Amino acid sequence: MKQPLYVSGAGAVTAAGLNARQTLAAIRASLSAFEEKILSEPFGAVQIVARIPTHYQLRQTDGQWLVNMAARAIGEALQSGTRAAGSTAILLTPPEGFRNHPAYGDIAPQSFLAAVTSATGEKFHAASRALDGGAAASIGLLERAAELMEQNGVQQVLLGGVDSFINEADLARLGRAGRLKGVDNAQGLVPGEAAAFIRLTCEPDEPARFHAAIQGVGVAREKDSVLSDRYSQGRALLSALRDAVNGSGLPEGDINFVVSNSNGERYSGWEQLIARPRFYRTRREVLPTAYPAMTIGDIGAAGGALALMLAADSLLKDYAPGPTAVCEVASETGLRAAAIVARVPRR
């Protein structure tokens, strides 16, 4: 990256909390938001999920539910600062198109961003965009966020995503592939739902002693995705990690911990087992790693922003094991991304 981006605020709604503060506290405390859901197909089957507790009127349709989640998280992120919505661009990652998410039966993909911004009651900068690509796409949009603030008169960017796997289409798809966690599959994912956004600025907003700065980004495409019939050899994840470190100017040995959106599937465990020893070459007794999915399940397209949010919060509130983190983020379709987040002193 040409210049660092600062994580100056955040907003979230997850099964563990209805705002960023509650969500981060639950993850930090290693709480679980898991519960059992009775499925209609196959009838009477039980599935572990991480579902947001809410009034049924907010879930009248899948599309409206995603819009409500995103609007709530965006509003919180915007209110964490004082800059106007008109000078704020939104970069949003909705559910991936290949999934045929039921939300798109209510709201066409090309109309999704407009529906979200309308629900906030604010008018955002015309440079706002929605991009398909899942959790890793959020990390890939960091470079775009920097460009917007350099060239387009944008003062800040709200970067994030919204998603839910708790719908009949995704549950059926994941069930057929044997990817759901259950009594007969310990290495499966727990379907979750969330919206998560971080507020990015080119300069720190507050005169604090330390700030959380994103200093390097790497993105690559894995040909052997979880949707294929092969296990990943970790090539794309390794490439993304190397590019992120090279872009940050920091050596690999300076990385103190990892935040990963790994969801507990055998596939992701295998990928990390192969990729990490090839990248983390400095001797460590242990490599501390945070897995938000242990608290809130797999939250799909919202996972990238949540990883950045958790890394920044741990650095600023001094519960991180060191001053430098790397976020490792994967999308179902094979996109892999990494970002270096560091605690930096006030200039």
What pLDDT was estimated at residue 270? 95
Q: Which fold has domain 216-345?
A: Peroxisomal Thiolase; Chain A, domain 1 (3.40.47)
Walking along the chain (347 residues) 10 residues at a time, the average pLDDT comes out as 92 98 98 92 88 86 96 98 96 96 95 97 97 96 95 92 96 95 93 98 87 97 95 97 96 97 95 95 94 98 98 97 98 98 88
Nearest alpha carbon to residue 247 among 139, 125, 320: 139
What pLDDT was estimated at residue 68? 95
CB 327 within 8 A of CB 305: no
Phi/psi at 48 (nearest 5 deg)? -80, 130
259 DSSP β-pair partners:
290, 327
Structural domain boundaries of the chain?
A: 5-201, 216-345
What pLDDT was estimated at residue 12? 98
Q: How far apart are CA 139 and CA 152, in angstroms?
A: 20
Residue range 5-201, CATH number: 3.40.47.10
Residue 102 gets which letter from DSSP? T
Give me Rg for the CA atoms of the chain.
19
Nearest alpha carbon to residue 327 among 264, 228, 273, 248: 248
CB atoms within 10 A of CB 187: 14
Query: Cis omega (within 30 of 0) on the bond before 292?
Result: no
What pLDDT was estimated at residue 108? 95
Question: For the whole model, what pTM was predicted?
Answer: 0.96
What pLDDT was estimated at residue 251? 94
For the four alpha carbons of 312, 314, 93 and 140, in that order, the dihedral sign comes to positive
> Residue 73: how many CA atoms within 13 Å on its side-chain side?
35
What pLDDT was estimated at residue 192? 98
What pLDDT was estimated at residue 1? 76
Topology alike, domains 5-201 and 216-345 = yes
Alpha helix ranges (H) inside the chain: 20-28, 62-79, 103-106, 112-120, 135-140, 142-151, 168-176, 235-248, 266-279, 293-296, 303-316
What pLDDT was estimated at residue 332? 97
Q: How far apart are CA 27 and CA 292, in angstroms?
A: 6
Q: Residue 340 belongs to what H/E stretch?
A: strand 335-345
